[in-house]
Structure 1
Amino acid sequence: MNFPVETDYGRWGRRCMRHTLDEFLALDRLKSGLVIIDYGEVELALLVKNRNAEATFYGFHAAQSPVTRQPVPYFQGRRVAPKRLNQVLVSDPSLYLHEDVRVGWFLGNKYCPLTEDLPKIMDKIDALTGASRRLLWGNSAGGTAALRYARDEDVSVVMNPQTVLINFTFGRIRPWTQHGWDRPDHDSTWFFVDEIGDLRKTPPKGRIVYCQNLHDDHVTLQLAPLAETLGVSTEPGDDGRFKLILGDWGKGHIPPPSDVQQAIVAEEVERMLGPKKGFFARLLG
């Protein structure tokens, strides 16, 4: 398949397994490596480490840089993912659509009904790995996806997510709606994004660890509307269901450093599964 964007599969390792959606859902085992689910015009790529752990880390990347674009598939989260969990990093299939599409919020496109298919894919992964819990992580648009796809029993750890897309930069949205949904004009794009891109209409489930840079307009445009819907404070705190971390990580839309994110994720893993046991403790049960 000749895609309109540059691809590079080799940089993610030698093992690349390609399936249709039906073939993937029929698998009886899941090997570690690069898993491609082929939709024809686009692909859903998953970078998998199956450790047969009781929980899985799902990582969703942010938008590609407006200055430099990397080949697809594109992944983020390897530095943050804890070795105690299975690891599944997800590449947004909308990045295959066109060079101008640098973000799609993991909401799919006309070729790939991702909001319908991804929950089934994640359920299948959990069944094949033996996992019963999930920690979903993401920066910016990846944080949006982590919130959207979390279940009641899950934890989402998000950095500066977009929760109300109509409050985001229209110039970043339009290439995705134009090439992904055949909606080139402003009005149809606005109504479309208002319908599918507002987390207030389908509030996130599970425990939410929300990390927000204080020097980002997302404080008022994204955090505040979601907090009002959830009935939680915009002041730092943790009520068990919603934990808000407000940080000073630089001017603008800047996430916490990787080591800070690692520590936040590690704390949530311990909260979810308990302290990690040493070898002899595991041996004794």
Structure 2
Amino acid sequence: MSFPVETDYRRWRQKQYRYTPDEFMALERLPSGLFMLDYGAVELAMLIRNRGASTSFYGFHAAQSPLTRQPVPYFQGRKVAPKRLNQILISDPSLYLHDDVRVGWFLGNKHCDLQTELPPIMDKIDALMGAERRLLWGNSAGGTAALRYAREQDVSVVMNPQIILTNFTFGRVRPWTQHGWGIPDHDNSWFFAEKIGDLRNTPPKGRIVYCQNEHDDHVELQLKPLAETLGVSTEPGDDGRFKLILGDWGKGHIPPPSEIQQQIVGEEVERMLGKPKGFWARFR
């Protein structure tokens, strides 16, 4: 297949599988590898490690840097994903649309309505793996997706997510609405983003571990509106359902270092599954 953006599948060094969505939903087994679901103008790519675990780690990437563009599919989370869990890293199909599209919040586009398509795909993956729960992780726009797709029994661990797209830099939103949904003008793009991109309309489910850089304007523009909607405090703490971590990780929209993210995720895995048992687990 050819796309208007650069692709590179070999860099992930995984066996490749390509299916239509219907073919994927008919699978009876799920090996580890790089999966591409063909939607014609775009594809949904997933980097899957099937460990037969009872819990799956779903990783959603942040926006691509405005200064550099990496080939698609694009994945983040391999350093953070716990080895005790199945691993599913997802590449946003909207990155296939145009070089100007650096972020799509995993909301989909006119070729692939991800809000409709992704939940049954995730259900299918977990059914084939024998998994019942999920830990969903992501930075920035990836954190937004982790919150959006979590269920009541799941845990989402998010870093500086966008809750209200119209409170975000609109220059990043416009290319996605233009190339993804055919909405080129500013006003209609704004109304569309306001309608589809406000998590307060469908508040996140499950346990939320919300990590926010205190030097980021997201404290006022994103965290506080969600906290008001959920009825939780904007002071650091953990009430069981909502855990807020405010950190000093640099000036601006900066996530915590990967080792801190590993620690936070590891604590949640221990909370979900308990400590690993056996000599070799203790040795590791």
Normalised by the length of structure 2, the TM-score is: 0.98
- 1:29-86 per-residue CA deviation (whole Å, 9 max, x = no partner) reads 0010100011010010000000000100000000000000000000000000000000
Tell me if 1:20 matches 2:20. Answer: yes
Q: What is residue 98 of structure 1 aligned with on the other side?
A: 98
CA-CA distance at 1:279 after TM superposition? 5.2
- 1:181-205 per-residue CA deviation (whole Å, 9 max, x = no partner) reads 0001111111111111000000000
Runs of 4+ displaced beyond 6 Å: none
Q: Secondary structure at the match of 1:89?
A: strand
Mapping of 1:89-168 within 5 angstroms?
89-168=89-168
- 1:227-269 per-residue CA deviation (whole Å, 9 max, x = no partner) reads 0000000000000000000000000000000000000000000
Mapping of 1:35-54 within 5 angstroms?
35-54=35-54
Q: Distance in 1 between matches of 2:229 and 2:203?
A: 8
Tell me if 1:244 matches 2:244. Answer: yes
Q: What is residue 57 of structure 2 aligned with on the other side?
A: 57
1:226 aligned partner, one-letter code: L
Q: Secondary structure at the match of 1:56?
A: strand
CA-CA distance at 1:278 after TM superposition? 1.6
Q: Distance in 2 between matches of 1:280 and 1:188?
A: 57
CA-CA distance at 1:277 after TM superposition? 1.0
Q: What is residue 234 of structure 1 aligned with on the other side?
A: 234
CA-CA distance at 1:280 after TM superposition? 8.1
Q: Distance in 1 between matches of 2:144 and 2:68?
A: 22
1:63 aligned partner, one-letter code: A
1:159 aligned partner, one-letter code: M
Q: What is residue 267 of structure 1 aligned with on the other side?
A: 267
- 1:189-230 per-residue CA deviation (whole Å, 9 max, x = no partner) reads 111111110000000000000000001000000000000000
1:113 aligned partner, one-letter code: D
Q: Distance in 2 between matches of 1:276 and 1:231?
A: 35
Q: Distance in 1 between matches of 2:181 and 2:188?
A: 10
Q: What is residue 190 of structure 1 aligned with on the other side?
A: 190
Normalised by the length of structure 1, the TM-score is: 0.98
**CA-based RMSD:** 1.1
CA-CA distance at 1:14 after TM superposition? 3.9
1:270 aligned partner, one-letter code: E
Mapping of 1:63-74 within 5 angstroms?
63-74=63-74
Q: What is residue 173 of structure 1 aligned with on the other side?
A: 173
Among the aligned pairs, what percent are the same residue? 79
Q: Distance in 1 between matches of 2:53 and 2:175?
A: 39
Q: Secondary structure at the match of 1:200?
A: helix
**Which runs of 5 or more residues in structure 1 are unaligned?**
none
Q: Distance in 2 between matches of 1:176 and 1:194?
A: 14
Q: Distance in 1 between matches of 2:148 and 2:183?
A: 23
The alignment covers a number of residue pairs equal to: 282
2:122 aligned partner, one-letter code: M
Q: Distance in 1 between matches of 2:14 and 2:117?
A: 26
Q: Secondary structure at the match of 1:36?
A: strand
Q: Distance in 1 between matches of 2:77 and 2:277?
A: 24
Q: Secondary structure at the match of 1:211?
A: strand
Q: Secondary structure at the match of 2:201?
A: coil
